[in-house]
Amino acid sequence: MLESRRIYLPPLSLIGPGALNDLGEELKGLPYEKCLFVTDKILVQLGVAEKVSEVLKEAGVEAVIFDNVQPNPTVKNVTNGLKMLQENDCDFILTLGGGSPQDCGKAIGILATNGGDIKDYEGIHVSKKVSLPIIAINTTAGTASEVTINYVITDVARQVKMVMVDKNCLVSIAVNDPVLMLGKPAALTAATGMDALTHAIETYVTKGAFGWSDALALESIKLISKSLEEAVHNGSNLEARSKMAWGQFIAGQAFSNAGLGFVHSMAHQLGGTYDLPHGVANAVLLPHVEKFNIPACANKLKKVARAMGVGVLDMSDEEGANAAIEAIKKLSKAVGIPSGLKELGVKEEDFEAMAKNAIADVCTGGNPRDVTVEDAIAIYKAAM
């Protein structure tokens, strides 16, 4: 018998070329008047924020721009954004960007209705009240924060990335328009794309996986494996960008409802300690963590290999699992991901502290194989 499940999804998702224009029509029917427009300076400089501002203006919505979001958003970013929201009496939040503006906006939204300090909300379903309404416009095929019940904020003082899993942070409208993703730098496309692949693979093998999440994860793996390299090397290819948008979108739905694993736990520590791009950290760690996981999920990893285009018919489960790991490494290399942590300036002297924090990370419980501090240190070493 199938077990009971709760599925959390945004009430409305707009996806595909032209989705931003569809948002304008939706806004005309909503009672919103003024938004805190959460984004970053790069998107303002590139003119992407201006495109969104035009849609808002046409819909009769006033925007107050907050563009001081860092690549790994901090407690200070959230506090400053909340202050601007309150000073301007904004009645909703609009986020534009990748995971950083999305996560920052979600944190601001939770504080706007619940009060306190964002550090009070680390963990699972801590808040009591639903966030201020959020419209999330995604510009990268990666984190899928626009459709998840997760957000991550860096506590600089502790050098820790705080993971919040909270149904109350779910956005009202999620927008994925691949036109906004055209021309993004190759390195950014590679990092965010490998982040999405990590989501799909981790949620497929996680302890919390179930039929619905499995179907989404496998389809995501197929889409990303076929499209990422083209999106990286030909950033103006709208078809590749569209497939990546769909791939990250459904991977986000899957992991938001099934969970992740130890790749994310370890990557969060690299972000907190070294401020490394999350997608790059995930990409470097993914094959090493899944190598460790083989005894617990060889059959599933064999299916990952098949979804990535590997012929596994005559392979044993273990052979297929190893083939999946090689396929991950091959794709990672093809899109220019660094080969190891050493290239990223990571030092072995930090391994023990990061390993201990990784064990305590909220994602660790979903890993298919139990992990010790010693295991974590060994994985970090293998990834050097």
d(CA 275, CA 354) in angstroms, rounded, equals 13
Nearest to 143 by CA among 15, 269, 30, 244: 244
Residue 262 confidence (pLDDT): 97
Q: How many residues does the chain have?
A: 384
Nearest to 83 by CA among 56, 51, 118, 58: 118
Share of the chain above pLDDT 70, in %: 99
Yes or no: say if 373 and 355 are a contact pair by the CB < 8 Å rule.
yes
Residue 1: pLDDT over 70: no
The sheet that has 160-165: what strands, in order across it? 123-124, 160-165, 150-155
Enumerate residues 6+ apart whose C-beta is below 8 A from 285.
263, 266, 267, 270, 379, 383
Residue 267 confidence (pLDDT): 96
Average pLDDT score, the chain: 95
d(CA 15, CA 12) in angstroms, rounded, equals 10
- Quickly state the pLDDT bin for 5 (edges 50, 70, 90): confident
Pure H helices in 119-210: 186-205
Burial class (CB in 10 A: 0-12, 13-18, 19+), 197: buried
Residue pLDDT, tens place only, 173-232: 999 999 999 989 999 999 999 999 999 999 999 999 999 999 999 999 999 999 999 999
Residue 57 confidence (pLDDT): 94
What's the predicted TM-score (pTM) here? 0.94
Yes or no: say if 104 and 62 are a contact pair by the CB < 8 Å rule.
no
Nearest to 257 by CA among 144, 149, 330: 149
* Residue with the two structure tokens 């793996």: 221
What domains does the chain contain, in order, with CATH numbers? 12-180 (3.40.50.1970), 186-382 (1.20.1090.10)
Residue pLDDT, tens place only, 140-169: 999 999 999 999 999 999 888 899 999 999
Nearest to 176 by CA among 224, 274, 243: 243
Yes or no: say if 228 and 335 are a contact pair by the CB < 8 Å rule.
yes
- Quickly state the pLDDT bin for 258 (edges 50, 70, 90): very high
Yes or no: say if 285 and 293 are a contact pair by the CB < 8 Å rule.
no
Residue pLDDT, tens place only, 19-52: 999 999 999 999 999 999 999 999 999 999 999 9
Percent of the chain that is helix, strand, coil (3-state, to 5):
60, 10, 30
- Quickly state the pLDDT bin for 2 (edges 50, 70, 90): low
Residue pLDDT, tens place only, 330-383: 999 999 999 999 999 999 999 999 999 999 999 999 999 999 999 999 999 999
SS3 category, 103: helix
